A and B are shown apart, each in its own frame.
Chain A
Amino acid sequence: NAGVMQNPRHLVRRRGQEARLRCSPMKGHSHVYWYRQLPEEGLKFMVYLQKENIIDESGMPKERFSAEFPKEGPSILRIQQVVRGDSAAYFCASSPPLAGGTTETQYFGPGTRLLVL
Chain B
Amino acid sequence: AQSVTQLGSHVSVSEGALVLLRCNYSSSVPPYLFWYVQYPNQGLQLLLKYTTGATLVKGINGFEAEFKKSETSFHLTKPSAHMSDAAEYFCAVSGRSSASKIIFGSGTRLSIRP
Interface residues of A (CB under 8 A from B): 4, 31, 33, 35, 41-45, 48, 55-56, 58-59, 91, 93, 95, 98, 101-111, 113
Contacts of B106 in A (CB 8 A): 41-42
- In the bound complex, CA of A56 to CA of B107 (Å): 24
B80 in the interface (beta carbon within 8 A): no
Partner of B99, one of A31, A42, A43: A31
Partner of B90, one of A42, A55, A104: A42
Chain B, interface size category, equals 20 to 34
Task: Specify the chain A residue showing the minimal Cβ separation from B101.
Answer: A45
Contacts of A103 in B (CB 8 A): 32, 51, 94-100
Task: Specify the chain A residue showing the minimal Cβ separation from B49.
Answer: A105
Task: Specify the chain B residue showing the minimal Cβ separation from A42.
Answer: B104
Task: Specify the chain B residue showing the minimal Cβ separation from A9.
Answer: B41
Q: B residues 37-89 with Cβ under 8 Å of A? A: 41-46, 49, 51
Partner of A42, one of B41, B45, B107: B107
B112 in the interface (beta carbon within 8 A): no
Number of interchain pairs (Cβ within 8 Å): 62
Task: Specify the chain A residue showing the minimal Cβ separation from B9.
Answer: A40
Q: Chain A nearest CB: distance from B3 CB in Å?
A: 11
B103 in the interface (beta carbon within 8 A): yes
Task: Specify the chain A residue showing the minimal Cβ separation from B46.
Answer: A105
Interface centre among A58, A101, A102 (most CB of B within 10 A): A102
- In the bound complex, CA of A48 to CA of B95 (Å): 14
Q: Are A108 and B43 in contact (CB under 8 A)?
A: yes
Contacts of A110 in B (CB 8 A): 42-43
- In the bound complex, CA of A48 to CA of B98 (Å): 11
Other A-B contacts than A93-B102, A103-B99, 20 sampled, CB-CB below 8 A, are A4-B43, A31-B99, A33-B102, A42-B105, A43-B102, A45-B101, A55-B99, A56-B101, A91-B43, A95-B99, A101-B97, A103-B51, A103-B94, A103-B95, A105-B49, A107-B46, A108-B36, A108-B43, A109-B43, A111-B42
